[in-house]
């Protein structure tokens, strides 16, 4: 596809970057429930974009719309330079999707799943076999290739799922919660796979519940809440919009705790834990000032921790649910 058909984004420095995904006012409702209430996205080609949001926020709905599995009720979207409504076939040819809805057939082997995919993409038999062999090798599935996919572990199934997506050589990949349910090692393996895709120039659109994952992988992150993008930016930019940085001092001696409380003034107290929280940007200068104030009174804390805002703080601040970090999963998808 000629790159001239891709929509471009002016970066202010005179250079233009092509957009892999752009949407304006994307809307979707189920009955009287508005799931997406006007979503604007601009995702540069070759970047990693993470869509964050609590359960039921509409992440999968957004992925399904952008990958042509369902249609939006309103708004416009272009994916890989093609209008979603006018030319869904062209969009489909340029993208790959793996997600909460697996494509893997458990009854046949991993290799057969791959060859089936090659057939769907109209590859010749020889080319289908070659691509399958390469991808099985790349995703460390050679040993398991002749076993039924149902016998694979969660991590192996995810790898097979991504390998199947890559058979069509997509330029844009949608990954809906690619690491949910994976153990830490498999999660890190998946991150490595995603980084390699990006190094190959693939644009990755991922949804995740893990803020650490977005922090680790994404160039840009958007937080979906109440049908809208509540905030968008790099991980660093998002962290800057929330307060939450503090120094926490814990004492074992109640007298020392009370003395520190008197010495420090403006603090948040936790009488039960004998802990004090002092707002701080985490800089050495602020830390020293706290310690200096303690030193003048000769009080020593038993434990000192510095907390800088992380994406969890951003998430809870924006989605307004500081007390319930994990809502139960809904079954409706
Ligand atoms: N086919 C459908 N019919 C009716 N309601 C639906 C349908 N699909 C999704 N919904 C509703 O739309 C909302 C958004 O669902 P969606 O699956 O997009 O959320 P999500 O952000 O992916 O959540 P999760 O983190 O649990 O995967 C939910 O309230 C869900 O119940
Ligand atoms: Mg989902």
For helices 284-297 and 254-264, give the axis angle rounded to 10 degrees.
120
Please name the residue whose Cα sits nearest to atom 3 of ligand 1: 30
Tokens of 287: 């830390």
Residue among 36, 58, 181 whose CB has most ligand 1 atoms within 8 A, to mutate: 58
Distance from residue 37's CA to the centre of ligand 1 (Å): 14
Q: Is the dihedral of CA 213, 234, 318, 39 positive or negative?
A: negative
Q: CA–CA separation, 160 vs 174, rounded Å?
A: 15
The helix/strand/coil state of 50 is strand
Q: What is the side-by-side order of every strand in the sheet holding 228-233?
A: 95-98, 172-176, 203-208, 48-52, 220-225, 228-233
**SS3 state of residue 299:** coil
Residue having the nearest C-alpha atom to atom 8 of ligand 1: 333
Residue 278: partners with Cβ closer than 8 Å, 6 or more residues away: 246, 247, 248, 249, 264, 266, 267, 268, 290
Q: Show pLDDT as tens, one digit a residue, over the chain (333 residues).
A: 444 445 555 544 444 469 999 999 999 999 999 999 999 999 999 999 999 988 899 999 999 999 999 999 999 999 999 999 999 999 998 998 886 556 788 899 999 999 999 998 899 999 999 999 999 999 999 999 999 999 999 889 989 998 999 998 999 999 999 888 888 888 898 899 999 999 999 999 999 878 788 989 999 999 999 899 999 999 888 887 777 678 899 999 999 999 898 888 888 899 999 999 988 877 788 888 888 888 887 888 899 988 877 777 777 788 775 444 433 333 333
Kindly state the tokens that stand for 111: 């290799």
- Residue identified by tokens 């420095």 is 13
Q: Determine which helix (DSSP H) or strand (DSSP E) holds 187, and give its type and residue range.
A: helix 184-199
Q: pTM of the predicted model, to two decimals?
A: 0.79
Evaluate whether 231 touches 298 at the Cβ level (below 8 Å): no
Distance 194 CA to ligand 1 centre (A): 25
Ligand 1 mutation pick, 39, 53, 59, max ligand atoms within 8 A of CB: 59
57 CA distance to ligand 1 middle (Å): 7
Full set of structural domains in the chain with CATH? 8-233 (3.40.50.300), 246-310+318-332 (3.30.70)
The DSSP 8-state label assigned to residue 329 in this structure reads P
* Separation CA 267–CA 279 (nearest Å): 7
- CA nearest 216: which of 245, 184, 257? 184
Are the C-beta atoms of residues 183 and 155 closer than 8 Å to each other? yes
């Amino acid at each position: 596809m000629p790159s001239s058909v891709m929509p471009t984004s002016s970066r202010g420095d005179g250079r233009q970057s092509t957009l892999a995904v752009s949407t304006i006012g994307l809307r979707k409702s189920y009955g009287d429930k508005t799931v997406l209430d006007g979503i604007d996205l601009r995702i540069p080609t070759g970047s990693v974009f993470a869509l964050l949001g609590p359960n039921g926020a509409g992440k999968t709905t957004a992925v399904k719309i952008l990958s042509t599995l369902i249609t939006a009720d309103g708004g416009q979207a272009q994916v890989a330079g093609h209008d979603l409504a006018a030319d869904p076939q062209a969009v489909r040819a340029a993208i790959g999707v793996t997600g909460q809805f697996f494509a893997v057939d458990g009854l046949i082997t991993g290799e057969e799943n791959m060859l089936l995919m090659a057939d769907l993409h109209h590859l010749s038999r020889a080319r289908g076999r070659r691509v399958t062999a390469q991808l099985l090798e790349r995703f460390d599935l050679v040993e398991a290739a002749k076993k039924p996919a149902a016998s694979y572990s969660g991590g192996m199934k995810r790898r097979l799922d991504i390998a199947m997506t890559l058979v069509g050589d997509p330029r844009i990949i949608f990954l809906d919660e690619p690491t949910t349910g994976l153990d830490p090692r498999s999660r890190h393996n998946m991150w490595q796979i995603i980084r390699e895709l990006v190094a190959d120039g693939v644009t990755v659109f991922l949804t995740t519940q893990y803020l650490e994952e977005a922090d680790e992988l994404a160039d840009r992150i958007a937080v979906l809440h109440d049908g809208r993008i509540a905030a968008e930016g790099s991980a660093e930019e998002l962290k800057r919009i929330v307060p939450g940085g503090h120094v926490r001092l814990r004492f074992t001696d109640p007298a020392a705790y009370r003395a520190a409380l008197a010495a420090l003034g403006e603090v948040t107290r936790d009488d039960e834990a004998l802990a004090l929280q002092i707002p701080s940007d985490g800089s050495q200068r602020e830390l020293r000032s706290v310690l200096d104030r303690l030193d003048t009174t000769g009080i020593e804390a038993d434990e000192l921790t510095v907390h800088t805002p992380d994406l969890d703080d951003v998430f809870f601040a924006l989605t307004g649910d500081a007390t319930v970090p994990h809502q139960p999963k809904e079954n409706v998808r």
